[in-house]
């Protein structure tokens, strides 16, 4: 797989800044297994390029950064618990690649940033969003939990209490609210978005690469046992895919109804 035959993303360069674009705008840039595979390949290719000094991750179009996982890939009748564990691990590992990049990573968010899309943004170093963007972790509304690192990275970023609020309620939050929670670095008007994003990326790209690399490694080394938490998260995600609650949650979502969970 090379940059020339990506189906769900595309990449482009501007001097020392490389942009990875989730390219499924008609589907709100929802995340499929193919997209995860292609994203991992693109990240690895760009990490090996010494000329790249900053990574930008964004979504095609002006409706969504990413509205989360493509539900068609998660239907309870089609995916077993072990398959769900592997899907969770795939997302965790792909987003982990992004988090582990030695160069600074910026998530540029315009529109919906929900579920797996928000988990992807959480793996970046900095996040900038338009003022009309919308955020949330709606997995509990489906009888699931965030399975691509959300139960680990979000508390590390904004604190456990706020992370639990966002995950447990499944509510949607404005860019202003998420800036107040410390999730967003800055919020800008849509007309200024592209310019401000590039200003930030170019500033980071001009920074000291060795100091940036070791700063990122030192910060990560100071965390608790994230790998153990991720493994627990992956197994929980897989088990939840086989529950009636998940099936009912997906049906309610598709029919624009409120789910009635029974704990089965």
> Is residue 41, in this structure, part of any structural domain at all?
yes
The reported pLDDT for the residue numbered 104 is 96
What is the DSSP track for 120-150?
Answer: HHHTSSEEEEETT-EEE-GGGGGT---TTTH
| Beta carbons of 253 and 141 less than 8 angstroms apart | yes
pTM: 0.91
For tokens 């928000």, name the residue.
118
> Is residue 216, in this structure, part of any structural domain at all?
no
Mean pLDDT of the chain: 92
Residue 117: how many other CB atoms lie within 10 Å: 29
Assign residue 56 the CATH number of its domain. 3.90.226.10
Residue 177: how many other CB atoms lie within 10 Å: 15
The reported pLDDT for the residue numbered 4 is 56
H/E segment holding residue 183? none
Backbone angles phi, psi at 83, to 5 degrees: -65, -35
> Is residue 136, in this structure, part of any structural domain at all?
yes
The pair of structure tokens assigned to 18 is 């490389």
- Of 77 and 8, the one with more pLDDT: 8
37 is catalytic: no
User: CB within 8 A of 181, min separation 6: which ones?
Assistant: 158, 162, 173
Residues 10-27 have a mean pLDDT of 95
| Beta carbons of 165 and 239 less than 8 angstroms apart | no
- 1 pLDDT tier (thresholds 50, 70, 90): very low
CA distance 96 to 189: 30
Range of the domain at 157: 3-192
The reported pLDDT for the residue numbered 77 is 66
Q: Is 120 exposed, middle or buried (0-12, 13-18, 19+ CB in 10 A)?
A: buried
> Is residue 201, in this structure, part of any structural domain at all?
no
Q: How far is CA 226 from CA 68, 87, 150, 153, 214, in A?
A: 22, 18, 11, 8, 19
Instruction: Select which of 37, 83, 139, 257 is catalytic.
Output: 139
> Is residue 233, in this structure, part of any structural domain at all?
no
> Is residue 242, in this structure, part of any structural domain at all?
no
> Is residue 49, in this structure, part of any structural domain at all?
yes
CA distance 191 to 193: 6
- 157 pLDDT tier (thresholds 50, 70, 90): very high
> Is residue 210, in this structure, part of any structural domain at all?
no
Residues 233-257 have a mean pLDDT of 88
Instruction: Select which of 7, 86, 99, 119 is catalytic.
Output: 119
242 is catalytic: no
Looking at the structure of the chain, the number of domains it has is 1
The reported pLDDT for the residue numbered 76 is 60
């Amino acid at each position: 797989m090379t940059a020339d035959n990506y189906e769900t993303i595309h990449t482009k360069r501007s001097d020392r800044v490389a942009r990875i674009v989730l390219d499924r705008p008609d589907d709100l840039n929802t995340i499929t297994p193919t997209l995860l595979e292609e994203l991992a390949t693109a990240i690895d290719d760009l990490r090996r390029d010494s000329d790249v000094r900053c990574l930008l991750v964004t979504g095609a179009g002006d409706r969504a950064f990413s509205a989360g996982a493509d539900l068609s890939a998660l239907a309870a009748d089609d995916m077993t618990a072990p398959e769900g564990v592997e899907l969770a691990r795939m997302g965790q590992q792909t987003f982990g690649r992004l988090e582990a990049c030695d160069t600074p990573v910026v998530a540029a968010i315009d529109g919906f940033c929900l579920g797996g899309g928000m988990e992807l943004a959480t793996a970046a170093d900095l996040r900038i969003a338009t003022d009309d963007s919308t955020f949330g972790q709606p997995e509990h509304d489906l009888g699931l939990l965030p399975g691509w690192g959300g139960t680990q990275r979000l508390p590390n970023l904004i604190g456990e209490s706020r992370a639990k609020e966002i995950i447990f309620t499944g509510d949607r939050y404005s860019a202003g609210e998420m800036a107040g929670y410390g999730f967003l670095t800055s919020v800008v008007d849509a007309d200024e978005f592209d310019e401000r994003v590039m200003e930030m990326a170019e500033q980071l790209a001009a920074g000291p690469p060795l100091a940036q690399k070791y700063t990122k490694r030192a910060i990560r080394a100071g965390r608790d046992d994230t790998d153990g938490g991720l493994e627990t998260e992956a197994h929980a995600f897989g088990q939840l895919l086989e529950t009636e609650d998940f099936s009912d949650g997906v049906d309610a979502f598709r029919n624009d109804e409120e789910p009635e969970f029974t704990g089965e």
